[in-house]
Amino acid sequence: MRDRDQTGRARSARPRDAYGRPLPRGAQGEPTTPDDYAAPPSRALADAQALLDADRPFHAHEVLEAVWKAAPERERELWRGLAQVAVGLTHVRRGNAKGAQALLRRAADRIAPFAPGPYEIDVSGIVRDVRALADRIDSGGIDAVTDADLALRLVR
């Protein structure tokens, strides 16, 4: 039986690790982003950056996804792309080279048209860095990735 919220939507109540993998029920997991998270873009960017800096890219993705779903139509693809960057980083940490490359490249293509970027988002820098990371994985495999490669900055 799946966990459901008050409206009947499927929601996993299982705890999660830093990379978003479900843990056994009753295990001590990482704090997650509340389902009702809502913040203005500047606050969400700061929250997502703090999560990325703490090596919690899955949780940063949840913050960015919340903004994506609430963003004005003209900005949705930007926020969707930023959420995909965080998921790409999650795949790197989980050791999934193919998934990481696909999401990082898709995210770069999605956000590139928004350069230089609203809200001081460093679109050009993010695009450059995630493409370089995807290329590094392509040439050297997931084991070639260093922590420095994952030190992504969202704003200028």
pLDDT digits (tens, 9 = 90+) for 108-126: 999 999 999 999 999 999 9
Task: Please report whether residue 34 resides in a domain.
Answer: no
Residue 107 belongs to domain spanning = 41-150
Task: Please report whether residue 63 resides in a domain.
Answer: yes
Task: Please report whether residue 155 resides in a domain.
Answer: no
For residue 31 the two structure tokens come to 């704090």
Task: Please report whether residue 18 resides in a domain.
Answer: no
Beta-carbon neighbour count of residue 122 at 10 Å?
A: 17
For every residue of the chain, DSSP letters joined together read ---B-TTS-B---S-B-TTS-B--TTS--B----TT----HHHHHHHHHHHHHTT-HHHHHHHHHHHHHHS-GGGHHHHHHHHHHHHHHHHHHHT-HHHHHHHHHHHHHHHGGGTT-GGGB-HHHHHHHHHHHHHHHHHH-GGG--GGGG----B-
Task: Please report whether residue 17 resides in a domain.
Answer: no
Task: Please report whether residue 123 resides in a domain.
Answer: yes
pTM for this prediction: 0.89
Task: Please report whether residue 113 resides in a domain.
Answer: yes
Name the domain count of the chain. 1
At residue 17 the predicted structure's pLDDT band, cuts being 50, 70 and 90, is confident
At residue 12 the predicted structure's pLDDT band, cuts being 50, 70 and 90, is low
CATH no. for residue 55? 1.10.3450.10
Which pLDDT belongs to residue 11? 62
Please state, in angstroms and rounded to a whole number, the distance separating the CA atoms of residues 89 and 93: 6
pLDDT digits (tens, 9 = 90+) for 31-75: 888 878 999 999 999 999 999 999 999 999 999 999 999 999 999
Task: Please report whether residue 22 resides in a domain.
Answer: no
